[in-house]
Chain A
């Protein structure tokens, strides 16, 4: 853990405030890989001739790269995969192609630099307005530069990377109109590294896939914005089709590289083929990097979501498994917002207020937001994951794990036998599927490990640590921050040593207070003696939404504590009697499994069967004296540290109790559809909503309900249901009876 060190970051806002936005938007920008390509007039003719002969071997010739969106569409429509699907679907060919055409039309992006410049200008204005700082991790940026074989920038963070002058601007304008003319004052001259990998023609651009976290609509824009800023190729972004409702804005997004895919289309083979081919053509030809959100949807809870939607990732990986590319580079990116643009919406949505339809009107309303301040945004890049290396490593480990003979009568068709140009939905072999699972878990975990902790997280922790804590002194915040992030680094750093704290000037009370009050003016107000008070209205739902907001900000750091805190939690719940080592471990594993959907751990919950972590956590708690080991290996919490312990365990206790509350609901056995089931539960819980009881608020969150129900694995429900309830009640026996009485 460390404090945010501004020298490790570039601050875009400071940079932009020093120079002109319009000149910046019109600066020189060109593709580092393709713009340096020499193309004489004669050779262009050569290309045209080559592309006319539709060769089976090379559907896309390197000389036509990068393609514009029309060419990409053309390539997709004329791919063998689409042809094969249309043939196999038995639809009339002409009709099939019409359908396919309509689908690509709807899906396709129209990435072009002109719109990007326009949006860069608009958003430069907006960002300068709403954000104090946008920090970009420049180590991560340097790594990307290396991949593109560009000279790493050694600019000091305060200076713009390239001086924006009138002449360079004029050049840029000229460039916009004639892309092929190669600029002479190329400030991104190719590095002359000795490796043929960088100089040799057959090795084209690196296949980069950006995987940002998804917390806000802003995520769509920010990476493109950064790419423009740093002169690296702008990505194509996978977006859900709901955004098409935005009309003109959707078109703007399209022109910035967004392509739109339906939410669920597994049964529609033609759509699926086109989607698959569309993604693959980008990866295979490498003319544009791809960006998508591995969590599949915006995380309303600000918690990292389990990557359950693997369609995009699988399409990309398949290019590697088929060896159409020799490697893929995955770059997980964590975008840490101090205040999320739409935190109100998130809180309301969790409480069952439906997500407003994506519309222009909504966006205008959102424009009001732009008058407020949203603090900092910190963008951090994980170390790139090279898929080839990761897969080799996986195969090695896999060999160790499974030593059984394969069933000679139940073979999975190896990649080398599968046809390459046909799109098959279930082509993944067992090992590949397991690798995909592991990889996607690893990616979201990478996301988590780069979390930045803002003051609001600590404030939320404090406010929510006990029910009815409506007013808190600044000193209390500082004490709690110390407990959470300074005293127990032994366990939190076991999860990751990369998380950082962004704190206004160390221990400066006024600063901290001021910051919380200005950025979260809708949540806090200041009362005497340096106390922060929640702005409670008395309206049940409004207050619940406010509390929910605190819940979601607290969520941003829970993964750091989850596993170690389970141990404390179990000891604490049994504070009357000492608990045996055996039982402690049993409950520890039980909680890990219970919250397998709620929190993303540092490794697969099922992989965590050895007790190395457990022992380490336990010895840490003993070391800091929170837990006292008694004789015959039983354990007890140290009542001296009751306050600290309950601060740390409070979130998990609340989640556990919320689960219990949910499991205690009447269970409508007839319903089998998860989303409907959630609605039924939520309705029941909301009707009993009590804002003085935090657990009641938490249990009304659709996300918590859904996770609780998924834990039941809701097909084999009845038995698991009884078991879970039993264990949970056991754990919280004394209090849960009180609770029931209360309700």
Chain B
């Protein structure tokens, strides 16, 4: 769910190795997350089951999940609120067409570059995956503005030509990679009167070459995470970049949003992985001329490109570090008596710089939720063992079920390294009263990552809305921030007339030398909400209050989701007026006519500010 992307690929749509088809809606849900065939549903036995065959959970029944939903969130089977089956054609605005551009495009590129003005393609390219967007889709897809055209360039040259034409005819371009944005970055500005073209990079999905001497690869930016890893693995390599959205998000999107991967402790975040990047801007192509590993030549141009969120140009090709596939991969888990001990332990591990590839600390709410996601009972013995374990932890070790929490671990490296590191981590954990809780629980924890987004859709079916957001924060504020934000969510819900207590939970997902990344989940049942309130509006108020609380607690505006349009109102506060001014002047130089007019990142003009002020007053 983390990233949004853009990119380009080689020849036509023959690529047998690509997962994503040209018309995404053929494979993916148009009104929800992920594959069409994979979803949670209540089966004939009245239990929640996950369909399809793509995931570990596929075809399994989750016997405790429904009870959890109904008892914790007060959901009920009677409050069924399914999504519409097809988008409502009346809701799709008439496209604004720039005929001189179209003529020019058709005469020069029309034969090689595919394009579409089909309603379903346009709709798919006009949104990301925030709750507001999904909500609109589930109610027929009434967006103020949608892309008027979608084009599928195949390579860098195609992109150059498209951008040149767009500049010539003053057409607005919005790059589209995986479509997994959660920052409204893909929403078309309602006040955009020019023709809007969504540049879908999914056909730029080739690994151009591997450089095995330098351990780098030149890759087209449209490749999505799972394809990239699969193709590299065939040759014995990996990038190690695994954001939670890696099934769908693209390399270009990672670069454009400064993505972060789960295993960054070993492989690094995207900014550590990128050696070289090429971007096409309205003024031309920008790139460095050297592959040297570190350079002191003024502010790093790569860093101007990274995090530009589609406002400066389209990333077309990236040279990225690759690593040999690890010999050993091992999951693990630790239970702690409480969240405070867990954070203290993570901090100690970070202090000693001995973190495994990934370490995540779930709070008590999520720990209990994880229990609810257990699959069908695997027989008497298994549950007996489970019960024994539970008794041991609660009765003998004195853990309180309503306080305990768990960390999930992933070790990677040579067998020796992994074993050593594992022992080391467990030894530290023991000092903080943590107890190893087995490999299986760790593995379960990580598979859950891919399920979370699917879970939201089943929640929505039963009038439950959910969203996640993230931040990064210095170590000394982690506990206070987690507690305060969780509490703020609850109090805001109460203030706004939400009748049932919300699920408000967090987890620490990354550790750094100087701080950590914290992920929050907020789930709210909007049944019997105060009369006259709009659930999405209430939800927005709560989310806004939560973000304000994050900022007041010293958390960052975003760790890896980006700013998009959902958080521009805070960017001045985050990087100062001068910081925004600097970004603005780069934008004005590279894109003077605002061809890349997605209006992400930088609050566009005084107009937007005034609107925001009005909204605030």
Contact = CB atoms under 8 A, between A and B. Distances in A.
Interface of A: 38, 40-43, 45-46, 49-50, 53, 55-58, 61-62, 194-197, 200-203, 323-324, 326, 396, 399-400, 405, 408, 415-416, 420-421
Interface string B56-99: 00000000000000000000000000000000000000000000
A143 to B, nearest CB: 16
B616 A399 contact: yes
B476 A420 contact: yes
A640 to B, nearest CB: 49
B343 interface: yes
Contact of A326 (B487, B494, B578): B487
B490 interface: yes
A195 B494 contact: yes
Contacts of A200: 402
A420 B398 contact: no
Interface stretch (B17-25, B531-539, B550-558): B550-558
A326 B501 contact: no
A197 B487 contact: yes
A323 B403 contact: no
B41 interface: no
B340 A62 contact: yes
B570 interface: no
A45 B477 CA distance: 27
Contacts of B479: 57-58
Interface in B407-423: none
Interface string B455-495: 00000000000000000000111111101101110110010
Contacts of A38: 400
Contacts of B347: 55-57
Contacts of B477: 323, 420
Interface string B255-272: 000000000000000000
B398 A43 contact: yes
Contacts of A400: 617
24 contacts: A41-B398, A42-B396, A42-B397, A42-B398, A43-B398, A43-B400, A45-B398, A50-B341, A53-B431, A57-B340, A57-B344, A57-B475, A58-B479, A62-B340, A195-B490, A195-B501, A196-B504, A197-B494, A201-B400, A201-B403, A323-B549, A323-B554, A408-B577, A416-B553
Contacts of B577: 405, 408
Contacts of B341: 50
Secondary structure of the A side of the interface?
loop
A201 B364 contact: yes
A55 B339 contact: no
B337 interface: yes
Contacts, number: 102
Contact of A58 (B340, B397, B504, B551): B340
Contacts of A195: 490, 494, 501
Contact of B481 (A41, A53, A194, A323): A323
A202 to B, nearest CB: 5
B337 A53 contact: no
A203 to B, nearest CB: 6
B476 A61 contact: no
A49 B336 CA distance: 14
A202 B551 contact: no
B432 interface: yes
A21 B385 CA distance: 57
Contacts of B426: none
Nearest to A204: B483
A450 to B, nearest CB: 26
A396 B398 CA distance: 47
Contacts of B552: 323, 415-416
B339 A57 contact: no
A142 to B, nearest CB: 18
A399 B403 CA distance: 41
B616 A396 contact: yes
Contacts of B617: 396, 400
A323 B476 contact: no
A675 to B, nearest CB: 41
B500 interface: yes
B478 A57 contact: yes
Given A46-B397, A201-B402, A421-B476, 19 more contacts: A42-B397, A43-B337, A46-B337, A49-B433, A53-B431, A53-B432, A55-B347, A56-B347, A57-B476, A61-B340, A196-B501, A323-B554, A326-B483, A326-B484, A326-B549, A396-B616, A399-B616, A408-B578, A415-B554
Contacts of A42: 396-398
A408 B580 CA distance: 13
A62 B403 CA distance: 11
A55 B344 contact: yes
Contacts of A41: 398
A56 B337 contact: no
10 nearest CB pairs, A to B: A42-B398, A43-B398, A326-B484, A416-B554, A323-B553, A55-B344, A57-B344, A58-B340, A40-B398, A196-B501
B549 to A, nearest CB: 8
Nearest to B341: A50
A200 B552 CA distance: 23
A405 B487 CA distance: 34
